[in-house]
Amino acid sequence: MNEVRAISVFVRTATLGSFRRAAVDLGISPQAASHAVMQLEKSLGVQVFHRTTRKLSLTDEGQRLLQSVEPALAMLSSAIDDARRSKEEVAGPLCVSAPTALGRTVLLPLILEFAALYPDVQIDVRFDDRFTDLVSDRADVGFRGGSPPSGGAIARRLLPIQLIVCASPAYLERYGAPKTVNDLDAHRCSAYRRANTGKHAPWEFMIGGEIVYKEMAASVCSNDVDAEAEAVLAGLVIGQLGSFSAVSHIRAGRLVPLLTQHVTQRESIYVYYRRRTEQPLRVRTFIDFAVSRLADNSQFFLTTEELSGSARRGGRAARSHSAA
């Protein structure tokens, strides 16, 4: 027996005064309504209605049951209505999970803009560089830099991640620019410490059509990409920074890209989520908003023309410093 259904039939029958009226209201047959109440009485071991050919009235037990279940049934009905409205209104809680590395430059402006557009959405943003899945994070939407997430989530590629060697003009004025990858051994370099392993991430370069990894002796090391970028901007070190972190500084002249003929682009930024048909409207709206703002947005990576131009300028700068 479906007890919730049987109690719903009982309440409507008591309210309307007959099985026939309750059946019409619920969209079932009078026989089905009568049978549901009989099954309820059998389960409870008490009679809830006095039945005559002309009249239907509550027993004392039926009256007490009605008084007890009506508030709970009203709450259940309200909860169901709220769930249905969540498919129709951009409102309610939204949990977003992302690595700290993407937070300040890429995602926070996007999230703040979305919050301003949809003030009825309560956004819970969780930045953590240790990757977890949507289930363990209890997140609606996740962002990740690297390879596509596994584990059944739907992933959509948003942006390429270029790893760009760069330095401040002040550093280059003092130490000069490396002409080759091997020249980096004579320079002060930064390192990023990975959150999941605690080890330094090796620098990587495209050489002869293949990716070559190089362990760097670090003069400055951090587990925070923004802190690493600040050290490079301060002229303390040369760094290999993600394009999402470096490009705005490069275009503003605060950083100079180096060895751009060796830039790698093997990883990307992804947004990932469960099946869209299972998502409330607020979640689907946020996903569409993120895609519209970020997908292939050249604000966060260097174009082919920029890389080629940087390579030519970098070569001239290195030769000029050597001559000096």
pLDDT category at 277 given cuts 50, 70, 90 is: low
User: What confidence tier does 259 reach under pLDDT thresholds 50, 70, 90?
Assistant: very high
Confidence band, pLDDT 50/70/90 cuts, at residue 307: confident
- 3-85: CATH architecture: Orthogonal Bundle (1.10)
**Mean pLDDT for the chain overall:** 86
Q: For residues 147 and 174, which has the higher predicted lDDT (pLDDT)?
A: 174
The mean-pLDDT minimum among 4-18, 182-196, 248-262 falls in 4-18
**The pLDDT value given to residue 151:** 63
The pLDDT of residue 231: 97
CB 5 within 8 A of CB 26: no
For residue 317, pLDDT over 80 is answered with no
- CA–CA dist 175, 38 (Å, integer): 91
The H-or-E segment that residue 306 falls in is helix 304-323
Q: Name the residue among 76, 65, 17, 19 with its Cα closest to residue 41.
A: 65
Residue 97 gets which letter from DSSP?
Answer: E
Architecture of the domain whose range is 92-158+272-298: 3-Layer(aba) Sandwich (3.40)
- The domain limits of the chain are 3-85, 92-158+272-298, 161-267+300-323
- Ranking 9-18, 142-151, 181-190, 233-242 by mean pLDDT, the lowest is 142-151
Residue 215 half-sphere exposure toward CB, CA atoms < 13 A: 2
Cα angle 275, 101, 145 (rounded to 5 degrees) comes to 40
Strand 154-167 versus strand 264-273 pairing type: antiparallel
Rounded to an integer, the average pLDDT of 136-144 is: 83
Q: Is the pLDDT of residue 24 over 70?
A: yes
CA gap 265, 259 in Å, rounded: 14
| CA torsion angle 241 139 82 278 (round to 10) | 90
**% of residues, the chain, pLDDT over 70:** 87
Joined tokens for residue 127: 């930045």
pLDDT in tens, 191-214: 999 877 889 999 999 999 999 999
**Which H or E run includes 124?**
strand 121-127
Q: What is the pLDDT of residue 324?
A: 47
CATH 3.40.190.10 fits 161-267+300-323, yes or no: yes
Fold match flag (3-85 vs 92-158+272-298): no
**Partner residues linked to 122 by β-bridges:** 93
The yes-or-no verdict on residue 10 having pLDDT over 50 is yes
Question: What are residue 305's DSSP bridge partners?
Answer: none
d(CA 166, CA 258): 5
Q: How far is CA 280 from the centre of its chain?
A: 15
| pLDDT surpassing 70 at residue 161 | yes
Percent of the chain with pLDDT over 90: 49
Report d(CA 255, CA 316) in Å as an integer: 16
pLDDT at 269 over 90: yes
pLDDT attached to residue 117:
95
